[in-house]
Amino acid sequence: MLIKEVIARKIPDSRGDLTIEVSVNGQSASAPAGKSVGKYETSSYYDSLDWNIKFLNDANFYGMQINNFNDLLLLESAIKSKGKFENPKKFGANALFALETAVLKSCAFSQKKQLWEIINPKAKRFPIPLGNVVEGGLHAQNELRPDFQEFWIIPQEKSFSKNVSLMREIYNKLKKILNATSITDEGAWQVSMSDEEVLGALSQFKRIKLGADIAASSFYKNNHYLYKDKTLTSEFQILYINDLIKKYNLFCTEDPLQEEDFQGFAKIKRTNSTFIIGDDLTATQPERLIKAIKNKSINAMIIKPNQNGSLLEVAKIFEICKKNKIKTILSHRSGETLENSLADLAFAFEADFFKAGVATKWREAKLNRMIQIENEKNH
């Protein structure tokens, strides 16, 4: 595929904030944005959204030949030389992610292939959806919200589409059970309940497992974890999380401690036979992942492509995870667009889990795309 035209523009995301959309030979891709931002994730833009849009519209990529996934190396080299960056990620994660995805979409279109086939034509394993059905912390606005950021259901059916159906069924039932009247940016229920009240309510459902994103960095101040009803030292936070994992039989727990506590993560992982997930801890960066592996901190990792920017580096992260038996969770962000390529990426990289929400059109676009891939593979 010969690059003939690159056009960058601003579009609103699901929160109404502006983000970048890039079109390559008429095939477009856009980038999301997170509300809960990890300290170590790549900056979204080099200088500003406007700067990156001007750069892409002024830069001349005409004549560059991209035929497969690994040819993104040519694109990243061009970004480095045109922008005089020592590393293509300096260009900005959102801008690089949108550009690379649009290039791959255009490549797929020119070869009459699906996006996932350009990345990994041998892909065949579908992820399990992980649905955030209730949110608190930084993802909710109400005063009496839970301290934890997300509460998940992980369905245990035989296919991706059946898992999504079960998630949606439980999500709809929860409105009445939780007395919920509003939703968060990610389409999860916003409730006036404690963390344990939410976990107790979710425990009643069959054919699912439970998980939670503690997002502990968001309420860690002056060496203490500040809950609404208690203040815990790191030692007592570890004991509290261990207790919750056992009491509610949690299948997975994300960021149970603040983002520098690799040793504390390792203590929780040693004590439990469940998945301890790094997100703020690892921030979709290979160096942070390698540090977590050396410290035996995690056995699962959230991967958000636009936290990094380079799809080549995202592929490398998946390789490192597989080699070290770390489960992978490809994830959306709180500020999303109707971009559905995340499903192709999850399938192509053979992610173990796919975290794309349950409700609202921005989340459904990704879930429905994965169902479409599943239907096409099965026929």
- Asked if residue 294 and residue 177 are part of one domain, the reply reads yes
- Asked if residue 179 and residue 40 are part of one domain, the reply reads no
204 in a structural domain: yes
Give me the pLDDT at residue 36, please. Answer: 62
**Alpha-carbon distance values, 327 to 108, 128, 138, 295, 298 (Å):** 28, 11, 25, 16, 9
- Asked if residue 133 and residue 93 are part of one domain, the reply reads no
- Asked if residue 302 and residue 164 are part of one domain, the reply reads yes
Active-site residue (options: 135, 186, 259, 339) = 186
- Asked if residue 75 and residue 156 are part of one domain, the reply reads no
Residues 6+ apart with CB under 8 A from 98: 8, 20, 21, 22, 29, 30, 31
268 in a structural domain: yes
The CATH number that applies at residue 115 is: 3.30.390.10
Q: Please, is 86 exposed, middle or buried when counting C-beta atoms within 10 Å of its C-beta (0-12, 13-18, 19+)?
A: exposed
Using the 3D structure, point to which of 119, 154, 179 is the last residue of a domain.
Answer: 119
198 in a structural domain: yes
The CATH number that applies at residue 333 is: 3.20.20.120
Using the 3D structure, point to which of 77, 96, 119 is the last residue of a domain.
Answer: 119
Instruction: Work out how many domains the chain is built from and give that number.
Output: 2
- Asked if residue 202 and residue 83 are part of one domain, the reply reads no
What pLDDT tens digit does each residue of the chain (379 aa) get? 999 999 999 999 999 999 999 999 999 999 998 766 668 999 999 999 999 999 999 999 999 999 999 999 999 999 999 999 999 999 999 999 999 999 999 999 999 999 999 999 999 999 999 999 999 998 988 889 999 999 999 999 999 999 999 999 999 999 999 999 999 999 999 999 999 999 999 999 999 999 999 999 999 999 999 999 999 999 999 999 999 999 999 999 999 999 999 999 999 999 999 999 999 999 999 999 999 999 999 999 999 999 999 999 999 999 999 999 999 999 999 999 999 999 999 999 999 999 999 999 999 999 999 999 999 998 8
189 in a structural domain: yes
- Residue at token pair 């409105």: 175
Domain that holds residue 241: 128-378
Threshold 0.85, pTM exceeds: yes
Kindly give the pairing relationship between strand 131-135 and strand 189-190. parallel
Residues 6+ apart with CB under 8 A from 240: 232
- Asked if residue 96 and residue 30 are part of one domain, the reply reads yes
247 in a structural domain: yes
- Asked if residue 297 and residue 187 are part of one domain, the reply reads yes
- Asked if residue 187 and residue 311 are part of one domain, the reply reads yes
164 in a structural domain: yes
Q: Is 304 a catalytic residue?
A: yes
- Asked if residue 151 and residue 82 are part of one domain, the reply reads no
1 in a structural domain: no
Residues 6+ apart with CB under 8 A from 84: none
213 in a structural domain: yes
Using the 3D structure, point to which of 97, 119, 141 is the last residue of a domain.
Answer: 119
SS3 readout for the chain: CECCCEEEEEEECCCCCEEEEEEECCEEEECCECCCCCCCCCCCCCCCHHHHHHHHHHCCCCCCECCCHHHHHHHHHHHHHHHCCCCHHHHCHHHHHHHHHHHHHHHHHHCCCCHHHHHCCCCCCCCEECEEEEECHHHCCCCCCCCCCEEEEEECCCCHHHHHHHHHHHHHHHHHHCCCCEECCCCCEECCCCHHHHHHHHCCCCCEEEEEECCHHHHEECCEEECCCCEECHHHHHHHHHHHHHHCCEEEEECCCCCCCHHHHHHHHHHCCCEEEECCCCCCCHHHHHHHHHCCCCCEEEECHHHHCCHHHHHHHHHHHHHCCCEEEEECCCECCCCCHHHHHHHHCCCCEEECCCCCHHHHHHHHHHHHHHHHHHC
**Which residue type, as a one-letter code, is found at position 140?**
A
- Asked if residue 141 and residue 46 are part of one domain, the reply reads no
Q: Is 175 a catalytic residue?
A: no
- Asked if residue 114 and residue 133 are part of one domain, the reply reads no
Active-site residue (options: 89, 105, 267, 304) = 304
